[in-house]
Amino acid sequence: MKKGTTRLAKVRLGLLLAAHSLLFPALAAPGVPQVPEPPDPPSNPEVSVQGFRVRPGETHKGDVVRFAPSAAIQGTLDGDLYVTASTVTISGVVTGDVFVAGSVVDVSGEIQKSFRAAAANVVLDGTVHGNVLVTGGSLTLGSKAHVMGNVSAYTGQFTHNGVVDGSLSFTGGNATLGGKVLEDASLTADRIEIEPGARIEGDVSYSTRKPMDAQLKAIAGGEVTYDEAPVREKRVKHREDEDLRPTTFGVGKWIAFFAASFLFGAALIAVFGSREPQVTLGIGSGTLRYPGI
More confident residue, 9 or 196: 196
Whole-number pLDDT of residue 155: 96
The residue among 84, 91, 90 whose CA lies nearest residue 68 is 84
| Cβ partners under 8 Å of residue 123, min gap 6 | 105, 106, 107, 140, 142
| Cβ partners under 8 Å of residue 287, min gap 6 | none
pTM over the 0.75 mark: no
Whether the per-residue pLDDT at 243 is higher than 50: the answer is yes
Whole-number pLDDT of residue 51: 83
Residue 130 lies in a domain: yes
When the pLDDT of each residue in the chain is averaged and rounded to a whole number, the result is 78
Give the pLDDT confidence of 209-230 residue by residue, as tens digits. 889 999 999 999 999 999 987 6
Residue 181 lies in a domain: yes
**Full strand arrangement of the beta sheet holding 127-128:** 59-61, 76-78, 93-94, 110-111, 127-128, 146-147, 163-164, 180-181, 199-200
| Cβ partners under 8 Å of residue 237, min gap 6 | 30, 31
Residue 86 lies in a domain: yes
Residue 215 lies in a domain: yes
Domain that holds residue 38: 2-285
d(CA 230, CA 207): 6
What total number of domains does the chain contain?
1
| Cβ partners under 8 Å of residue 157, min gap 6 | 137, 138, 139, 140, 172, 173, 174, 176
d(CA 93, CA 109): 6
Give the pLDDT confidence of 131-157 residue by residue, as tens digits. 999 999 999 999 999 999 999 999 999
Whole-number pLDDT of residue 119: 95
Whole-number pLDDT of residue 26: 38
Residues in the chain: 293
d(CA 160, CA 108): 15
Residue 292 lies in a domain: no
Whether the per-residue pLDDT at 73 is higher than 70: the answer is yes
Beta strands in 17-173 (DSSP E): 52-54, 59-61, 64-73, 76-78, 81-90, 93-94, 98-107, 110-111, 115-124, 127-128, 132-141, 146-147, 151-160, 163-164, 168-171
Whether the per-residue pLDDT at 158 is higher than 70: the answer is yes
Residue 290 lies in a domain: no
Whole-number pLDDT of residue 66: 87
Give the pLDDT confidence of 12-60 residue by residue, as tens digits. 444 444 444 434 443 444 444 444 455 555 545 455 567 899 999 999 9
73 and 55 Cβ atoms separated by less than 8 Å: no
With a pLDDT cut of 70, the percent of the chain lying above it is 61
Residue 293 lies in a domain: no
